Amino acid sequence: MKIFLDSADIKEVKEAASWGAIDGVTTNPSLVAKENTDFFELLKEICETVDGPISMETTSLDAEGMVNEGRTFVKLHPNIIVKCPLTKEGLKATRALSSENIRVNVTLCFSANQALLAAKAGAYFISPFVGRLDDLGTEGMQLIQDIRQIYDNYQFETEILVASVRHPLHVLEAARIGADIVTIPFKVLDALVKHPLTDRGLDQFMKDWDKLPDSIKRPPSIDARS
Ligand code: G3P
């Protein structure tokens, strides 16, 4: 399963990239707005930091506007994926852009029927928002299972990009279901690394090692090896 970072914070992107942990980045207007900086400059810097799919969201509400934005976005960098919302206009834009070989990440997906329409429109990625469904008391991960079954039934090539991830269990369940990608905020990526037994074990290794005299821990001197 591929892991994308769901962030427009270049510091988070650079840190996550330094771990070798991420295969791409997703952004959206809310995440970009938080950075309050030049949109195209920011996305270009993200593209130059992570060599993978970088999702950049349109802000038009009509298909023509989305198509024009998408054509402009992809000139920024070959790794740009155009994000369009799962609306009628978004499906029209997806159909048009995909017919021009421009890859579209269809976002704000909340039902399997929506995901079916997105695949038929030629979506490259589908982004079901599991956390927001959980927030309503419905099972977000059930949507991922349903989409996985439907896409497999009909050999749709659209990749399932699990979004609105709130915690490590979402990541684990997405991998078990066979989602293609999860996009996760930095705080969740950070939580994936941590385990108290790792910290406790490392602490004990260091304590045991520190008990040894330095004389038996030093590497042999160069001449002793010659
Ligand atoms: O990529 C979509 C994601 O950013 C939405 O997450 O937490 O706002 O539901 P959230």
Give the mean pLDDT of 124-149.
98
Give the mean pLDDT of 120-144.
98
The residue whose C-alpha atom lies closest to atom 3 belonging to ligand 1 is 164
Give the mean pLDDT of 70-85.
98
Its domain, for residue 183, covers 2-195
For residues 63 and 93, is the Cβ–Cβ distance under 8 A?
A: yes
The residue whose C-alpha atom lies closest to atom 8 belonging to ligand 1 is 164
Residue 224 lies in a domain: no
Amino acid letter, 125: F
Residue 180 lies in a domain: yes
Q: Which of 164, 183, 187, 188 should be mutated for ligand 1, with most atoms under 8 A from CB?
A: 164
Residue 2 annotated as catalytic: no
Q: Is the CB of residue 27 below 6 angstroms from any atom belonging to ligand 1?
A: no
**Span from the CA of 212 to the centroid of ligand 1 (angstroms):** 50
The alpha-carbon radius of gyration of the chain (Å, integer) is: 22
pLDDT single digits (tens) 82-125: 999 999 999 999 999 999 999 999 999 999 999 999 999 999 99
| Three-class SS state of 200 | helix
The enclosing domain of 160 has a CATH number of: 3.20.20.70
Amino acid letter, 220: P
Q: Is the CB of residue 4 below 6 angstroms from any atom belonging to ligand 1?
A: no
Residue 209 lies in a domain: no
Residue 201 lies in a domain: no
For residues 52 and 24, is the Cβ–Cβ distance under 8 A?
A: yes
The residue whose C-alpha atom lies closest to atom 9 belonging to ligand 1 is 164
Rounded to 5°, the CA angle 185-32-186 comes to: 15
pLDDT single digits (tens) 176-216: 999 999 999 999 999 999 999 999 999 999 999 999 999 99
Residue 200 lies in a domain: no
**Span from the CA of 164 to the centroid of ligand 1 (angstroms):** 4
Given 11, 34, 75, 83, the catalytic residue: 83
What is residue 173's predicted lDDT score, i.e. its pLDDT? 98
**Alpha helical stretches, state H, 79-177:** 88-99, 112-121, 130-135, 140-153, 168-177
Q: Which residues contact 202 (CB under 8 A, 6 or more apart)?
A: none
